[in-house]
Amino acid sequence: MKCKSARWYRVLPAGAACLMLSGCTREQFLVFNPAGPVGKIEMHLVILSMVLIGIVVVPVMLILWYIVHRFRDRPNNRAPYRPEWSENRTLEFIWWGIPIIIIGILAVNTVRDTFRLTRPPEPAGKPLTIHVTSLDWKWLFEYPDQKIATVNYCYIPTGRPIQFVLTADAPMNSFWVPQLGGQEYTMPGMAMRLWLQADKPGTYFGSGANFTGRGYAHMKFDVIATSDPEFSQWAAKVRQTAPALTRSGYTQLVKQSVVGRMSFSSFPPGLFQEIIMREGGMYMKHDISVLDNKA
Amino acid sequence: MPDDTLNVSHFLVTGDPLIYGADVSIVVVSIAIVAVLTYYRKWGWLWREWLTTVDHKKIGIMYMIAALLMLFRGGVDALLMRTQLAFPNMRFLKAEHYNQIFTTHGTIMILFMAMPFIFAMMNIAIPLMIGARDVAFPYLNAISFWMFFFGAMLFNLSFVIGGSPDAGWTSYPPLAESEFNLGPGENYYLLALQISGIGSIATGINFFVTILKMRAPGMTLMRMPLFCWAVLATSVLIIFAFPVLTVALALLLIDRIAGAHFFTMLGGGNPMMYINMFWIWGHPEVYIVVLPAFGIFSEVVATFSGKRIFGYASMVASLMAIAVISYFTWLHHFFTMGAGPGVNSFFALSTMIIAIPTGVKIFNWLATMYNGRVRVTVPMKWALGFIPNFAVGGATGVMLSVAPADYQYHNSYFLIAHFHQTLIGGVVFGMLAGMYYWWPKMFGFLLEERYANWGFWWFNIGFYVCFIPQYLLGFMGMTRRIYTYPTGMGWSTLNLISTIGAFMMGLGFLFIAAGIVYSIFYGERDTTGDPWNGRTLEWSLPSPAPHYNFARIPVVTSRDAWWTMKEERKQGVLPPGRDELRPIHMPKNSGRPFILSLSFFVAGFGLVFHWYILTVIGFAAVAACLLLRSFDYDTDSYIPVDEIKKTEASYGRS
Amino acid sequence: MSVMQGSLFNHPPSRVGGERVEHADHPDPNLWIFGFWIFLASDLVLFASLFATYAVLHTHIANGPSARQIFDVTGFTAETLFLLTSSFTCGLATWSMRRGQQGWLKAWLVVTLIFGLLFIGFEVDEFATNSMKGYGMSTSAFLSAFYTLVGTHGCHVSLGICWMVAILIQVFRLGITEVTARKVFVVSLYWHFLDVVWVFIFTVVYLTGVMG
């Protein structure tokens, strides 16, 4: 009975996994459905690391099953019993060695891509900068070149590297658009740079990933990727039709609330830099270099 | 300074059926306890035998009971959360409640469940394993326990008085600053952790000295059982990691109470400081709780394979390597905070490297069973369940350490699944294995197998059903700590399955608890003192061990000392002529640790609500306790030979 | 260190009624001293964390004063002299104790206490003067870090003073016994430790502050 149940619990997770996958489509696994080069690099790392750890995990499961089966304490078990056997240099050499090699391979890939992702994705079109501020509980996007601003959604042109410069005027959050690439924190007083790029048009799910209180669960936004001309048309339309974001309007926006999408034809110049400097940016050389890089 | 104009409706949390339920159950349980104690006239017994004890075995038992109760409370929190997440747009809990519940769940499980559980196992087993009569500082040990206990009480009190903390168990500022978090909940968190943290540091020092200085003659370091090595490593981690948490929490408290600017948004504060300090403690903390579990698995696997542990030197080396490297990995908790690629690479590599000694340990456990005779008893089941579980948990940890990929896992359900797999699969499985293993040594009877098996299977299978879907949810973009989610993301089915798994685990826990109750009445007595055919010195004693542990301090000649003694006896080698019994010097019981910790509790409660008079009274009482101890010269006594002989005879020994 | 311990604490095993006794919890007083060293290691980590915080925040002066504006050279030099001297007299106290000179032991402990109190007095005065000028804990991150680091050390010293008074009373009552000797030794360790921490505060906080 015991033996049967031992097998039972090994089969179960696999069965459960199949059951679960049947209810979901591949597109819904956002991390495995990247829409740009950054997401692709990260997905390849995910897959590589899965394969590498599989080399250890799968044999461990099989060996465990085999050993418990073979050396089970039952009458007439004829497997050898050597209670003093406790040293074997060769074996130990093998299982110190294998993890070291695996970790070595993974380490090389990790370091290479860690450095790669701090630069704009290649092949590079003309970069576009978007200033992102996380507020309680909404996302403000400012386009310094287009001089427009949006809340809880943003448009980006496809095929161009987007430099998101992130900060917060509220408790720390995290800016995450899984299909474009991994997240980065938005922090008060810090200007953080995140390069992303969309290669195909579409609407991509984004959300705040770091807990900020009561309205946090509703901090979702959409990133809408369109062709470059369509992006320019959209920006022009916003500039002409939307109201302006004034300083008092911003003060209202900062107050804790959950809102829908908003668009603004302009925003107070220098607002982004001002918030960052006031909340500690003045002590950070890093911030100044990020902000200057743009200018 | 935050204004504290409190009225009753703020003080007692009102307006929620959940809270009223808790209020009622707390009152009912308290009345029941008082009634039972009074009816059976057990107040004196409770005070003399338990509240004032300095006996490591009793302190260990109290830690264990507290840990099981907190496992229940944290588990109920988990079930409430999983119920809320079972379906999209569910309206079971409001955001405020959900936030409080995940905060208390995390805090309780790490600090008030995992920590006391490892302290329980350390207290119960370590002195017996190294052939000592108590820990190095028994009085301090009692203080440690009561500090933990009253810290935990203070934390749990927040649920009905003032409101629970709701900034997450990590309590990151500025969210946890008074600017965004006015309520007393956050103060409760800070003070409760501070009070129990003092106890933890004391325990670390105590066991470090005990293991290094109190071993029986002949027990060299390399003859110690692996559990002792694991606890030694854990003690070192506690000693050097906990003060950092103390500082982080203290600074946040000063921010909140005195209006300082350590981690505020304005005034030059730097919240990243807190995050760094929190994890400089937080990462070693993970190993503080998991290393003793590794130690327990080493004992259990060797005992139930009837075989020496394989690769002892390797096991020791890997424990120490893990302990040292764990100080250099803290930044992997926030790769996404945007440190430079060089820094991220360093911490990614250090994190991966820690997987190597961990992997080696798993292979060594497998090799220990190889060529052995595997008896699949209840403790061994938890150990066998642990291996595949932790293999997957550790492996996903390696995946998380790949810094660029971590940008996709961070704060997602992938991360949640990973750390639950290591903390449940590692720590909880380990502590339950230890509980079933040492139970007869604690109480003199074995835990019944049938209930225990049901408990194991429900809990183990429930675990996979609960957490495997969460890995997938992470890949689907679901972030942690959201109290609700929309339809159309494909998250619904997986969340429902996960909830079902959580309830399966809850059922498993009920079976375990029922098994304990059943065994108290019908459990098989352990008359031999060695029910498992053990290998280490604790099994040479009768069960439960007499309060002086060893009538004669054993002389150790090899690793697995008790096993060797038994083998020699079988081969007819007579034990060397035994010494005469001598009077044994033992510390006296004292009520002061209890009162001292209670005073800390009073002072802490005063600070929570800015009632500074109460705080001053509390600290004055603390000072009085310390001074009284300094002037107390009547702290220990001798057990005369006659009494020892009588006690030994009652166990059928001489 | 080991020399001091060895000469002070190598007692023959204690006896009860002429019979050798096995101890349960403390085979010898060195166990306490060893434990206390470990505690000091832990306490050192606590101070290291506070120093790290100060190092990060000491330029974050917001709208408040800078270090150079508030540090008073005479004040902190005096504090330093008092504490260093007290550490020296504390050393003399243990030295007298090892030679069995009870009178000198008491005298040096009293001198140590006086210097300790002077140190605390000056520090309280420094804090009070600055607060009176409106430079408090909540003025800036720099001042938060400054008050907390220096104040934590001050609390340690105050605690040390109370503790030393308690032990002095016991020495007056019981003279030099195995137990009181151990206690004097442990409190002196603590006192020297605080001296070492002060040397770091003096250089990292005050000297760097007035020069920077």
Instruction: Report the CATH number at residue A139.
Output: 2.60.40.420
Are A158 and A289 contained in the same domain? Answer: yes
Question: B584 touching C, CB under 8 A?
Answer: yes
> φ, ψ for residue B543 (rounded to 5)?
-110, 130
Confidence category of residue B33, pLDDT binned at 50, 70, 90? confident
Are A134 and A265 contained in the same domain? Answer: yes
Nearest to B512 by CA among B572, B465, B452, B563: B452
> What domains, with CATH codes, occur in chain C?
29-211 (1.20.120.80)
Are A44 and A89 contained in the same domain? Answer: yes
pLDDT > 70 fraction of chain B, expressed in percent and rounded:
97
Separation of alpha carbons B209 and B554, rounded Å: 20
Residue A224 bridge partners (DSSP): A155, A203
Identity of the residue numbered A49: S
Confidence category of residue B160, pLDDT binned at 50, 70, 90? confident
Question: Given a contact as 3+ CB pairs under 8 Å, which chains touch C?
Answer: A, B
Separation of alpha carbons A210 and B172, rounded Å: 10
* Closest chain C C-alpha to B203 CA, distance in angstroms: 11
* Closest chain A C-alpha to C76 CA, distance in angstroms: 28
Instruction: Find chain B residues with C-beta within 8 A of A280's C-beta.
Output: 265, 268-270
pLDDT at B566 (0 to 100): 92
Nearest CA in chain B to C38: B205
Measured at the alpha carbon of residue B151, what is the angle toward residues B148 and B153, in degrees to the nearest 5? 110
Nearest CA in chain A to C63: A278
Of B135, B270, B623, the CB nearest to C57: B270
pLDDT at A11 (0 to 100): 55
Looking at the predicted structure, is the pLDDT value of residue A8 above 80?
A: no
Q: Is B484 helix (H, G, I), strand (E, B) or coil?
A: coil
Are A163 and A285 contained in the same domain? Answer: yes
Domain limits for position A19: 2-116
Residue A217 counted as domain residue? yes
pLDDT at B5 (0 to 100): 42
Q: Is C163 in contact with B630 (Cβ distance < 8 A)?
A: yes
pLDDT at B54 (0 to 100): 95
pLDDT in tens, B374-408: 999 999 999 999 999 999 999 999 999 999 999 99
Q: Is C24 in contact with B201 (Cβ distance < 8 A)?
A: no
Average pLDDT taken over every residue of chain A: 89
Instruction: Find chain B residues with C-beta within 8 A of C26's C-beta.
Output: 136
| Length of chain B counted residue by residue | 654
Looking at the predicted structure, is the pLDDT value of residue C3 above 50?
A: no
* Closest chain C C-alpha to B254 CA, distance in angstroms: 9
pLDDT at A3 (0 to 100): 45
pLDDT at C5 (0 to 100): 38
Separation of alpha carbons B504 and B510, rounded Å: 10
Residue A232 counted as domain residue? yes
Average pLDDT taken over every residue of chain B: 93
Mean pLDDT of the region B352-366: 95
pLDDT in tens, B311-341: 999 999 999 999 999 999 999 999 999 888 9
pLDDT at B12 (0 to 100): 66
Nearest CA in chain C to A278: C62
| Domain covering B8-573+586-650, topology | Cytochrome C Oxidase; Chain A (1.20.210)
Nearest CA in chain C to B54: C25
Query: Is residue B376 a contact partner of residue A2, using CB atoms and an 8 Å limit?
Result: yes
Looking at the predicted structure, is the pLDDT value of residue A113 above 60?
A: yes
Are A221 and A142 contained in the same domain? Answer: yes
Mean pLDDT of the region C149-162: 96
Nearest CA in chain A to B404: A114
Instruction: Find chain C residues with C-beta within 8 A of A280's C-beta.
Output: 60
DSSP string, B85-145: HSSTT--SS-HHHHHHHHHHHHHIIIIIIIHHHHHHHHHHHHHHHTT-SS-S-HHHHHHHH
pLDDT at A21 (0 to 100): 56
pLDDT at A44 (0 to 100): 94
Q: Is C46 in contact with B239 (Cβ distance < 8 A)?
A: no
* Closest chain A C-alpha to B70 CA, distance in angstroms: 25
Average pLDDT taken over every residue of chain C: 87
Structural domain ending residue among the three candidates A66, A90, A116:
A116
Nearest CA in chain A to B393: A57
Are A51 and A188 contained in the same domain? Answer: no
- Mutation for A interface: B81, B373, B384, B479, most A CBs within 10 A: B479
CA distances from A189 to A142, A193, A248, B181, C63 (A): 17, 13, 21, 20, 16
Q: Is B368 in contact with A106 (Cβ distance < 8 A)?
A: no
Structural domain ending residue among the three candidates A116, A151, A170:
A116
Structural domain ending residue among the three candidates A87, A116, A145:
A116
Q: Is A107 in contact with B268 (Cβ distance < 8 A)?
A: no
**Least-confidence region, from A20-24, B346-350, C63-67:** A20-24
CATH code for the domain of A39: 1.10.287
Residue A122 counted as domain residue? no
Looking at the predicted structure, is the pLDDT value of residue B188 above 90?
A: yes
Instruction: Find chain A residues with C-beta within 8 A of B471's C-beta.
Output: none
Q: Is C170 in contact with B136 (Cβ distance < 8 A)?
A: no
pLDDT in tens, C13-48: 333 333 333 444 445 678 999 999 999 999 999 999
Are A15 and A138 contained in the same domain? Answer: no
* Closest chain B C-alpha to C38 CA, distance in angstroms: 6
Mean pLDDT of the region B75-100: 93
Confidence category of residue B29, pLDDT binned at 50, 70, 90? confident
How many domains are there within chain A? Answer: 2
Cβ contacts of B517 within 8 Å, gap of 6 or more:
none
Question: Given a contact as 3+ CB pairs under 8 Å, which chains touch B?
Answer: A, C
Are A32 and A137 contained in the same domain? Answer: no
Q: Is C19 in contact with B251 (Cβ distance < 8 A)?
A: no
**Least-confidence region, from A129-138, B55-64, C58-67:** C58-67
pLDDT at B15 (0 to 100): 62
Question: C60 touching A, CB under 8 A?
Answer: yes
Place of tokens 């707390």: B26
pLDDT at A122 (0 to 100): 76
Are A63 and A150 contained in the same domain? Answer: no
Chain-centre distance of CA B607, in angstroms?
26
* Closest chain A C-alpha to C56 CA, distance in angstroms: 10
Nearest CA in chain B to A106: B402
Are A83 and A207 contained in the same domain? Answer: no
Query: Is residue C166 a contact partner of residue B633, using CB atoms and an 8 Å limit?
Result: no
Residue A76 counted as domain residue? yes
Are A108 and A205 contained in the same domain? Answer: no
Are A285 and A146 contained in the same domain? Answer: yes
Separation of alpha carbons A97 and B359, rounded Å: 11
> Which run of H or of E encompasses B284?
helix B271-305
Separation of alpha carbons B267 and C102, rounded Å: 54
